[in-house]
Amino acid sequence: MSIPKGIALITGSAQGIGRGIALRLARDGFDVALNDLPNKDAKLDLVATEIKSLGRRVCVIPADVRVDREVKEMVDNAVTKLGGLDVMVANAGVLTFASLLSTTVETWDRIFSVNARGTFLCYKYAAMQMIEQGRGGRIIGASSLGGKIGFPYNSSYGASKFAIRGLTQVAALELGQHGITVNAYAPGGIETPMAESMMDESGNVDLAKIFDDPVSRKWVVALLENVPIKHAGQPEDIASIVSYLASKEAHFITGQCISVDGGISMN
């Protein structure tokens, strides 16, 4: 087994984008700590088997990113099992569609507890470990197209993803002195298990499943019609930008939220 490029921890890595990121970083030469909820152990084990086949060390660390103690223990366990932490990818997230008027406080708090608080805790404990190690590091979070453009029926999710952009900028300002870069990625439409709930039987986005009113559906249709790249994205498309942000070559990039959405959001 070759000397690892570093040690990476990816949350929400049982499936979808997180799985794609974990496999890509393993191919890049990183040893990998996989995280997701305890009820996804079987899927995590499958990803771990794939990573072992690539000749890299891997460990599975179930934890709930909403819980302060569990996130700290997750980082500590990754360090104990693999020998350190060089890349933290705070990828775990949840999505719920509801109009502003029908969104409950409970829904709002649930979305924020995973997407915003979970990312904050991952940033915090990863940064503490990286500072202690004294060799810098890469912290990478999951924002969204919905964290750059307001979408109807998307208030709690969109607000949580906008929050990640602000958190990323603040963390970049504070941690740069320690050689730690902090960036985020903002996916557009990516074919993942999370997206399946929005599809019809033919595999196309069924807007009627999401938006109750025709005005919202018309707005989204008009937006999607103007996308320069017409096909849906794949988890590998997100993994490729994470691969670069995790590399030594990205040492002069920090505080950014990079869109990977086929050109919907241009800035």
Residue 53 is assigned to a structural domain of this protein:
yes
* Closest listed residue to residue 247, CA positions, set 5, 2, 3, 1: 5
52: containing domain:
6-195+232-260
Q: How many CB atoms lie within 10 A of CB 218?
A: 12
Residue 251 has pLDDT above 70, yes or no: yes
Picking from 157, 127, 120, the residue whose alpha carbon sits closest to that of residue 141 is 120
Nearest to 87, CA basis, from 24, 1, 25:
25
> Is residue 112 assigned to a domain?
yes
Residue tagged active-site, from 161, 218, 244, 248: 161
Minimum mean pLDDT among 32-36, 133-137, 161-165, 213-217: which range?
A: 213-217
pLDDT in tens, 71-122: 999 999 999 999 999 999 999 999 988 999 999 999 999 999 999 999 999 9
Model-level pTM? 0.92
Residue 65 confidence (pLDDT):
98
pLDDT digits 0-9 by tens, 132-159: 999 999 999 999 999 999 988 899 999 9
Give the tens place of pLDDT for each residue, 202-229: 555 566 667 677 777 777 777 777 788 8
Q: Give dist(CA 174, CA 93) in Å, integer.
A: 24
Instruction: Say how many domains are in the chain.
Output: 1
Answer yes or no: is pLDDT of 32 > 80. yes
pLDDT at residue 218 in the model: 78
Backbone Cα Rg of the chain: 18
For this structure, is 157 an active site residue? Answer: yes
| Residue 125 a catalytic site member | no
Give the sign of the dihedral formed by CA 109, CA 110, CA 113, CA 116.
negative
Q: What is the CATH number for 58? A: 3.40.50.720
Indicate whether 1 belongs to any domain.
no
Helix, strand, coil abundance in the chain, percent, nearest 5: 50, 15, 35
Cα–Cα dist 112/114, whole Å: 5
157, 185, 209, 218: which is the annotated catalytic residue?
A: 157
